[in-house]
């Protein structure tokens, strides 16, 4: 059985990735930041269908906690699966705070940087010794790194940085047969940044070739399939999952 770690697996896109990976037979370690109840709900839903999942707390913005998190992962691997390694890491956790460049303050900038770029960098570094050779890293980025939409500059810049980092991960971890890809969702109906208002959703749907915003499962299913052996030769790519957003 492959084992997948998904950060921010308690809600939205991450919850769908966790559910879809479990449905395809993977063991799942999902993390939450503050919403333990939501994480336990996802674990319960996976286990109700015969899967195996555990939830661990992790603030991706606090890299000082990553060694302790790696220890917690090591304990769970042994206790739950009788293994010393896991197979895939999905750096998905994130949040939205959107303001024009003219008004973004340093605390806002630094917070977004810690969660969307520094966090995935050092979390991957901390977990690498526990990842099996032949494993896979998926970094969840955003179509906002390709198209400039109003008010998302720091967020989009760090997602773009994470896409560059993805290529370096693929290059540097290739000797262990670990592949690394970025998945860039377009607008998805989640609670990110307070969720989408009806007017904004209609605007985004109008900018999307398939005529609607995405649902978490549109991304969850794609990531679960990307992790499978069917995609074993896909490496160092940025794959947009957006229904054709602003093309
Ligand atoms: N929704 C979109 O339109 C969209 C588009 C492109 C890219 N994305 C990206 O997709 C990813 C998932 O977003 P989503 O839309 O699913 O958001 P969401 O529904 O708000 O869920 C966010 C998840 O991330 C966790 N999280 C937030 N801050 C965290 C932190 N500091 N440390 C650890 N975990 C943290 C949350 O945990 P708690 O439940 O504990 O709060 C939750 O599990 C993000 O990287 C986002 O940037 C989203």
**Cα–Cα distance, 221 to 133 (Å, whole number):** 24
Residue 232 lies inside a defined structural domain of this protein = yes
Low-confidence ranges of the chain (pLDDT < 70): none
> How many independent structural domains does the chain possess?
1
CATH code for the domain in which residue 165 is found: 3.40.50.720
What pLDDT shows up at residue 150? 77
Q: What are the tens digits of pLDDT across the range 109-127?
A: 999 999 999 999 999 999 9
Structural domain including 26 reads: 3-241
Residue 11 lies inside a defined structural domain of this protein = yes
**Cα–Cα distance, 58 to 207 (Å, whole number):** 35
Query: Does the C-beta of 196 come closer than 6 Å to ligand 1?
Result: no
Q: Is 135 exposed, middle or buried (0-12, 13-18, 19+ CB in 10 A)?
A: buried
Q: What are the tens digits of pLDDT across the range 142-163?
A: 999 999 987 999 999 999 999 9
Tell me how far the alpha carbon of residue 95 lies from the centroid of ligand 1, in angstroms.
5
- 155 as an active site residue: the answer is yes
For residue 8, the ligand 1 atom closest to its alpha carbon is 43
Residue 246 lies inside a defined structural domain of this protein = no
* pTM of the predicted model as reported, rounded to 2 decimal places: 0.98
Task: Write the CB contacts of 234 (distance below 8 Å, at least 6 apart in sequence).
Answer: 179, 181, 226
For 140, the enclosing helix (H) or strand (E) is strand 131-140
Residue 247 lies inside a defined structural domain of this protein = no
């Amino acid at each position: 059985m492959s084992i997948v770690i998904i950060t921010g697996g308690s809600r939205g896109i991450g919850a769908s990735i966790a559910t879809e990976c479990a449905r395809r037979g993977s063991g799942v370690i999902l993390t939450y930041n503050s919403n333990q109840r939501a994480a336990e709900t996802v674990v319960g839903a996976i286990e109700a269908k015969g899967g195996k999942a555990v939830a661990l707390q992790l603030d991706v913005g606090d890299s000082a906690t990553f060694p302790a998190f790696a220890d917690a992962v090591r304990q769970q691997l042994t206790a739950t699966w009788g293994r010393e390694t896991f197979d895939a890491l999905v750096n998905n956790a994130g949040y939205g705070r959107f303001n024009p460049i003219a008004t973004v303050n340093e605390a806002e900038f630094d917070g977004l940087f810690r969660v969307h770029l520094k966090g995935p960098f050092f979390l991957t570094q901390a977990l690498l010794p526990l990842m099996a050779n032949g494993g896979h890293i998926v970094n969840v980025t955003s179509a906002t790194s390709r198209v400039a939409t109003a008010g998302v500059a720091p967020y989009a810049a760090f997602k773009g940085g994470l896409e560059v980092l993805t290529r370096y991960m693929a290059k540097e971890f290739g000797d262990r047969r670990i592949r690394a890809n970025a998945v860039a969702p377009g607008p998805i109906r989640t609670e990110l940044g307070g969720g989408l208002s009806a007017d904004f959703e209609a605007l985004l749907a109008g900018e999307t070739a398939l005529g609607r915003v995405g649902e978490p499962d549109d991304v969850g299913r794609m990531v679960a399939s990307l992790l499978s052996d069917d995609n074993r030769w896909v490496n160092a790519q940025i794959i947009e999952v957006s229904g054709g957003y602003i093309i």
